[in-house]
């Protein structure tokens, strides 16, 4: 009895539709775990690069030196460094065009940084929608497999003269395995999604704060230049 009711036996004895559902859910689970580990490493790298750049930024290094370092290190730079570089690039271009209006210079740099911020945030949020879909859809796919398996089991029992728990149990147990696999796929995806959404919100807040702080520094520099010009 124990051998017949093992998980492997239940899966092998299930109908082909239920087996297909189980196979799909196992594949989705493997894909979601791969996405979770990729996102863990990616977020860890983003936080590390942002912290390194922020340390350099507030260490007293000149903006021009930071900009040239960011330009040379463009491929390996973190999101915050790329946001800084886009703002500095626009600011420098406008200055080269002999534009001296402080409002125009500041607005141009801020717009460039906001556009870069949006691109960086979209990149950081990659795979989040996939995890959300796995978390919300997997239980229903598993439930579909369970309902189909129970229907299949009861259809098979219709031809029997006497039905006991021993004859009903294997068919229902086979069907319930699909729900169990669906939950196994969904729960880690939901937990990971909530954790990553919180972490990404933190990253986004840090980048927005940096944009404001850098804008204030540019504004002070422009004020100092205009004062020295007068």
3-15 pLDDT, tens per residue?
455 666 666 666 7
- Residue that the structure tokens 């804008």 belong to: 215
| Residue in 190, 176, 217 with CA at minimum distance from that of residue 136 | 190
Lowest-confidence pick of 79-88, 205-214, 220-229? 220-229
SS3 content of the chain, % helix, strand, coil (to 5): 85, 0, 15
**Is pTM, for the whole model, over 0.85?**
no
- Residue that the structure tokens 């559902």 belong to: 21
Higher pLDDT, 105 or 101: 105
Position 123 scores a pLDDT of 92
Distance CA 174, CA 162 (A): 21
Distance CA 7, CA 13 (A): 10
| Residue in 35, 18, 7 with CA at minimum distance from that of residue 185 | 35
Higher pLDDT, 117 or 7: 117
- Residue 6 DSSP class: S
């Amino acid at each position: 009895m124990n051998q017949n009711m093992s998980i492997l036996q239940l899966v092998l004895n299930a109908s082909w539709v239920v087996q297909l559902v189980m196979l799909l859910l196992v594949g989705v689970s493997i894909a979601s775990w791969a996405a979770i580990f990729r996102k863990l490493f990616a977020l860890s790298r983003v936080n590390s690069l942002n912290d390194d750049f922020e340390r350099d930024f507030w260490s007293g290094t000149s903006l021009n030196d930071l900009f040239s370092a960011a330009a040379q290190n463009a491929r390996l730079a973190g999101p915050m460094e790329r946001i800084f570089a886009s703002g500095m690039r626009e600011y420098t271009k406008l200055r080269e065009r002999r534009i001296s209006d402080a409002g125009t210079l500041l607005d141009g740099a801020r717009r460039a940084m906001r556009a870069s911020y949006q691109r960086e945030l979209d990149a950081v949020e990659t795979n989040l929608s996939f995890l959300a879909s796995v978390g919300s859809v997997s239980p229903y796919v598993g439930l579909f497999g369970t309902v189909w398996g129970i229907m299949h089991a009861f259809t098979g029992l219709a031809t029997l003269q006497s039905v006991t728990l021993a004859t009903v149990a294997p068919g229902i147990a086979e069907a319930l395995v699909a729900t169990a696999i669906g939950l196994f796929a969904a729960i880690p995806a939901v937990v990971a999604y909530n954790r990553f959404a919180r972490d990404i919100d933190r990253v986004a807040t840090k980048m927005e704060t940096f944009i404001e702080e850098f804008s204030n520094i540019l504004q002070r520099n422009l004020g100092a230049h205009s004062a020295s010009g007068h």
